[in-house]
A and B are shown apart, each in its own frame.
Chain A
Amino acid sequence: MRMTVFAPLMCLLAGAAPAALLLAATAVPAQAYVGPGLGLGAASTALGVVGAILLGLMAFVWYPVKRLLRMVRRAGRSSAGRKP
């Protein structure tokens, strides 16, 4: 059972490892240097976008769900209080 689960993974690793070695052996300099100013700017832009998404999730999802839960709880409490 365990062999059948791991067999595709082992095949994948057996194929990927030589490919990775070949790529590492034939790599040329990437010439993708980013200076500190551009790097920090890009990082802070990405952090800003992520923060905006998190804040938007909080504003558009968390608070309405919280309000809904509170309303449901309040409705349940009031209906339980009315029953004899």
Chain B
Amino acid sequence: MREVLVDIERWRRQGKRVALARLVDLEGSGPRLPGAAMAISDDGEVAGSVSGGCVEGAVVAEALDVLAGDGPGRLVTFGYSDDEAFAVGLTCGGTMHLFVERLDW
């Protein structure tokens, strides 16, 4: 998370709205530990990452959805996708739980 705080502050100064996605729990194998974070601005700028690049695209979509709605945040789970070759999933076989939230000032 440390590494995205600078970007969050900059976006805030620029008047952008900001969503934060954090890896909170991991089952099985996974490239990153809890606390790995990605920040997303409402115009689609991205800082940080939460996996080895497997789910980042889907996380941006979730984050923009959270920014568009009025809920405070939601848990999102990504697991191994063996049914559809192009579905979003982790090839390492792990399952990751992300918390995606909107930051309000």
A complexed with B: no
